[in-house]
Amino acid sequence: MFNTYPIKSPGSSLKLVLIGLLFCLSFNLNGQSLEDLKTTAAENNLELKTQYKRFEAQLEGISLAKSWQDPNLSFGYFISPIETRVGPQIARFSLTQMLPWFGTFKVKGDIAAYKAEAEFEKFQDQKLKLYLKVAQQYYELSALRYVAKIEEEQFEILKDLKSIVESNFENNKANLVDILRVELEMDKQLNVLQVLKDQDQALVTQLNQMMNRPLEAPVLIPNPKQTLEQIQFMESDTLSITHPRLERIRSLQDSNAAESELAQKQALPQFGLGLDYAIIQNQNVMNADAGQDAIMPMLSVSLPIFGKKNKSRKKAVSLQGEAIQFQLENEKTLLRTEIQVAKYKQDELFDRLDLYEKQLLRLKDILQLSEVALANASMEIEEVLRLYQERLLYLKQQAQALANLQKTNETLGYLTSNSAL
């Protein structure tokens, strides 16, 4: 592009090599695909593991809900024995077991099962959100590393410009201040590269935290530009009726319906079966049954006569059902809104990328002419530097727009996902 001239500031070049070497380690090694990182995050993320354990704990509630009540065993000892026809009664054992209305255990199990399904759908949604966060961080890191390469190219351009200005200075076509001005820009570029290196490590740390890996573990992206430009468009931009956020609320609706049935059963009597065992002391009473212990089966029935309590229970379940229905409709509206906003943003980003492409093509022609003009000393170095800064700005904005487009596409993927994924 430019003629090559000896460079008089080897110290700056050495700094660039050291900084660039750190980026090259990430660019040249075998990269890690986004899908690999998502899989690693799904397997290791602590928040996701926490939610799955909540789901497993809720599953255990199904067996608990279907379990019988513990029987009640009581023992009584008569300090003053009660005299009976067959002898004094000195102690009594009682064993009772309460039985709910028919089908109550099944309904309780259904309630626990539906709540477990709701926890599982919450886990599914959290997993999809984790995929989205990993993808957003991955494309942000790709954009940063692509910008780092652009900034390195800008530094090389400044070196070439400096060589041209030094040549003009030797031929009395430029001033010393022009050389100093280019060197000032080169120092700025070195600082920018150092800042990008620090930002790179910060993004890698955040990405590793999501995957529960060592925070210093490298994240390798061999070709950041190609990664940004490989956009896979969504085949559908409509709301999935089986999105985990919707399926979770539907599971709560099913649980509420079962709770309504349970409220009706709780308004019915409960039965109790029992057995009384009385110990009779033999005191040589002249009776054939003298000293024989007494056994008495028992049957008890609860009397749900307080109707206000039962009505309040049914009303509370009904109101909760209405609230869940409103929640479902609101969630559908939110998802549709988020999809539309993502689509609008996607269209806006495409328009920006078209603009940046046109501007960069124009600048390419202008810069070729300005290079010739600078070599002929018919153009000031300030104007050339300004043009290259403008080109750098468009390239960086293009890189960020590509990253935002990828992140928007991933957002649409999350919003249109279904519970089976």
pLDDT the model gives residue 235: 61
Name the amino acid, one letter, at 182.
V
- Alpha carbon distance 182, 159 (integer Å): 8
Reading the chain (421 residues) residue by residue, the pLDDT tens digits are 333 333 333 344 444 444 444 444 444 445 678 999 999 999 999 999 999 999 999 999 888 888 888 888 898 887 777 776 666 778 888 988 888 888 888 999 999 999 999 999 999 999 999 999 999 999 999 999 999 999 999 999 999 999 999 998 988 888 899 899 999 999 999 999 999 999 999 999 999 999 999 999 999 998 999 999 988 776 666 888 999 999 999 999 999 999 999 888 888 888 888 888 887 777 655 555 555 777 888 888 888 877 788 889 899 999 999 999 999 999 999 999 999 999 999 999 999 999 999 999 999 999 999 988 988 888 889 999 999 999 999 999 999 999 999 999 999 999 998 876 5
Residues forming beta bridges with residue 84, ordered by sequence position: 87
- Alpha carbon distance 290, 150 (integer Å): 107
pLDDT the model gives residue 234: 64
The encoded tokens of residue 8 equal 């008089």
The encoded tokens of residue 408 equal 């928007």
Widest pairwise Cα distance in the chain: 145
pLDDT the model gives residue 18: 44
- Alpha carbon distance 367, 389 (integer Å): 11
Residue 213's nearest CA partner among 28, 48, 46 is 46
Helix (H, G, I), strand (E, B) or coil at 331: helix
The encoded tokens of residue 276 equal 């009384």
pLDDT the model gives residue 3: 35
pLDDT the model gives residue 16: 43
Q: What's the CA angle centered on 90, arms 87 and 96, to 5 degrees?
A: 115
The encoded tokens of residue 306 equal 């307080």
- Alpha carbon distance 109, 318 (integer Å): 20
**161 and 184 Cβ atoms separated by less than 8 Å:** no
Residues forming beta bridges with residue 280, ordered by sequence position: 89
Residue 173's nearest CA partner among 377, 385, 373, 379 is 377
pTM value?
Answer: 0.82
pLDDT the model gives residue 12: 44
**390 and 370 Cβ atoms separated by less than 8 Å:** no
Residue 215's nearest CA partner among 226, 223, 207, 224 is 207
- Alpha carbon distance 286, 273 (integer Å): 34
pLDDT the model gives residue 188: 94
**Rounded to the nearest 5°, which phi and psi values hold at 2?**
-120, 160
pLDDT the model gives residue 43: 95
**92 and 278 Cβ atoms separated by less than 8 Å:** yes
Helix (H, G, I), strand (E, B) or coil at 233: coil
Residue environment code for 265-291, b if the CB has 16+ CB neighbours within 10 A, otherwise e: bbbeebebebebebbbbeeebeeeebe
| Beta pairing class for 87-99 and 72-84 | antiparallel
DSSP designation for 69? P
Please name the residue ranges forming H helices in 230-306: 244-266
* Domain over 10-44+100-268+304-415 is classified CATH 1.20.1600.10: yes
Tell me the domain boundaries of the chain: 10-44+100-268+304-415
Name the amino acid, one letter, at 61.
G
